A and B are shown apart, each in its own frame.
Chain A
């Protein structure tokens, strides 16, 4: 691996936003292609972050600052990716369902998915089913990611899936869900395509859904 990409990888892993941005610029200045910078420098590092999280060596703070560092690098890299017509791994509309204001789980999932080169349309919290429908229509997303932390709001995941069906979009998108009160069984019950127990595993789930 190029030395500068190794330094970029380490900076993301350390959650060092400033160095990450500097190394992305340095890599581009050295003539390394934006796709290679993205995949070998940052996506690989975020993959390692996920592995370390699953292994119990990283915790949520380390994951958050690594994702923040990735974002600082992406801010510099994105125009180059667009210029080179590099497509994202997929497009995902994400949000916490209607009535629910909790965002940490959803934010973590978005950050980790972005770290795996997905394009994220984050609708925020308390998102009505019709907003998910509109976003899928306007963005052409392949996946809808729904989050809920409350037993009283988790039924809105089903309502959202029904709204996608009613809009004729259900066959065009996969739906993945997550959050403290939901489970694999609940995903099956409401007709979602997948469930992830945490943000790291949400990446592999999204990758499998989009294949």
Chain B
């Protein structure tokens, strides 16, 4: 479906450039990752600082794929310079999954992200700049709660147990997405990286089906789901599209020119310069060269936006992001 944010992408004179990640903004504000993921002001300031320094066309909240698992009860490890990691498997058996309570949105650190989205959306509204929240997708959350390897294994050996867990996480994710909508965000980037490890059939069965439920519950004219899958390849594309999201965002493994040809303008795709090899380890010159190659390949397709293939890691040089934005702008001109 066409949403306001999808129109914002397509109906603009220049190709949209939307690198994912706010942690580079910490280079400007001087806050730590720990502060940005636990403190509303630190997060909002980092996002805003990046926007103001680089004149980004979209403002994002932080992407932290531990916040939902932590809200369910998982232990996480927080550090000053790295996004948090889930430490343990919270549930290990069908019995534990059955007994797992579905937490309320508003518990754990979810208010940090929702309030950051609200503050940024208030500012964005005045400037005509959309704000997107960040959240995890259903299979990836199930993987964090049950163990990614284990979730992948039971997708083949004990699908009912996996389905029972997906039935627990999906209502929570619907409420979380809805809370971003209520906070005034124009949508959420829903990260479903672990689903790219499944077979196409498994992705359809254990990811797209549940993403679709979230999409049907929350996607509206004023609220888009941007489905991110940094592990998906071309072979996964038809199943990913079954989720019905308005916009899709892929990582480096996706053959984007082929994907753009395959979707034939029916949906919007974005991606996919490697966040580490290109943005983190590269130079402004190499970033520009890689961006031009992708712009050339995507030239025939208006329903495409330029982006990093995944969240930019903390420490990504601002100069590289600036080079990316500049080259996209000058190429379009």
Stretch at the interface among B96-104, B116-124, B148-156, B170-178: B148-156
- A62 CB–B CB distance under 8 Å: yes
Cβ of A62 and Cβ of B77 under 8 Å apart?
A: no
Contact across chains for A64 and B313 when beta carbons are under 8 A apart: no
Q: How far is the CA of A180 from the CA of B235 in the complex (A)?
A: 20
Alpha-carbon distance A15/B156, docked complex (angstroms): 9
Contact B277 A59 (CB under 8 A): no
B194-202, B256-264, B325-333 - the one binding chain A: B194-202
B39 within 8 A of A: no
In the complex, what residues of A have CB within 8 A of residue B81's CB?
Answer: 152
A65 to B235, CA, bound (A): 21
Residue of B152, B233, B276 touching A61 (CB-CB under 8 A):
B152
Query: In this assembly, does A168 line the interface, its C-beta being within 8 Å of a C-beta of chain B?
Result: no
Given contacts A59-B197, A180-B276, contact A65 B156 (CB under 8 A): yes
Q: Could you tell me if A107 and B315 are in contact, using CB atoms closer than 8 angstroms?
A: no
Given A15-B156, A65-B153, A151:B280 Cβ within 8 A: yes
A101 part of interface (Cβ distance < 8 Å): yes
CB atoms of B276 and A64 under 8 A apart: no
A16 (CB) vs chain B CBs: closest residue: B157
Q: In the assembly, what is the distance between CA of A104 and CA of B157, in Å?
A: 18
* Cβ contacts B140-163/A at 8 Å (1 or 0 each): 000000001100110111000000
Partner of A181, one of B77, B86, B276: B276
B111 CB–A CB distance under 8 Å: no
Q: Is B108 interfacial (CB 8 A cutoff)?
A: no
Give the dominant DSSP class at A's interface: loop
Structural contact, A61 and B277, CB atoms closer than 8 A: no
B284 within 8 A of A: no
- B73 contacts partner chain A, Cβ-Cβ < 8 Å: no
Partner of A62, one of B82, B156, B233, B235: B156
Contact (A60, B276) CB under 8 Å given A68-B153, A150-B82? no
B38 at the interface (CB under 8 A from A): no
Among B155, B157, B235, B280, point to the contact of A56 (Cβ < 8 A).
B235
- Given the interface pairs A181-B280, A183-B277, the reply to whether A150 lies near B313 with Cβ below 8 Å is yes
Q: Cβ of A64 and Cβ of B85 under 8 Å apart?
A: no
Residues of B contacting A62 in the complex (Cβ-Cβ under 8 angstroms)? 156, 199
Q: Which residues of A contact B85 (CB under 8 A)?
A: 100-102
A22 within 8 A of B: no
Let me know if B280 and A61 touch, CB within 8 A. no
**Chain B residues, CB < 8 A from A15:** 156-157
How many angstroms from the CA of A50 to the CA of B77 in the assembled complex?
A: 34
Q: Which residues of B contact A151 (CB under 8 A)?
A: 276, 280, 313-315
Q: Which residue of B lies closest to A111 (CB)?
A: B149
Give chain A nearest CB distance to B143 CB in angstroms: 9
Most buried by A among B81, B152, B315: B152
Q: How far is A60 from B149 in the complex, measured between Cα atoms in Å?
A: 9
Partner of B198, one of A59, A102, A108: A59
Contact A60 B313 (CB under 8 A): no
**CB–CB B235/A60 < 8 A:** no
What's the nearest-Cβ distance from chain B to residue A32, in Å? Answer: 28
Asked if A162 is an interface residue, CB under 8 A from chain B, the answer is no
User: Are the C-beta atoms of A107 and B149 separated by less than 8 Å?
Assistant: yes
- Residues of B near A102 (CB, < 8 A) are 85
Q: Are B276 and A152 in contact (CB under 8 A)?
A: no
Q: Is the CB of A104 within 8 A of B149?
A: yes
CB of A122 within 8 A of chain B?
A: no
A103 within 8 A of B: yes
Other A-B contacts than A62-B156, A100-B85, 9 sampled, CB-CB below 8 A, are A61-B156, A99-B79, A99-B82, A104-B197, A107-B149, A151-B313, A152-B82, A152-B313, A153-B82
**Interface on A for B, CB 8 Å cutoff?**
15, 56, 59-62, 64-65, 68, 99-104, 107-108, 150-153, 180-181, 183, 186
Q: List 20 A-B contacts (CB under 8 A).
A: A59-B197, A60-B198, A61-B152, A61-B153, A61-B199, A62-B199, A65-B157, A100-B85, A101-B85, A104-B149, A104-B152, A151-B276, A151-B313, A151-B314, A151-B315, A152-B82, A152-B314, A153-B82, A180-B276, A181-B277
Using a CB–CB cutoff of 8 Å, the interface residues on chain B facing chain A are 77, 79, 81-82, 85-87, 148-149, 152-153, 155-157, 197-199, 202, 233, 235, 276-277, 280-281, 313-315
Q: Which 8 A-B pairs have the closest CB atoms?
A: A59-B199, A181-B276, A151-B313, A60-B197, A61-B156, A61-B152, A152-B82, A101-B85
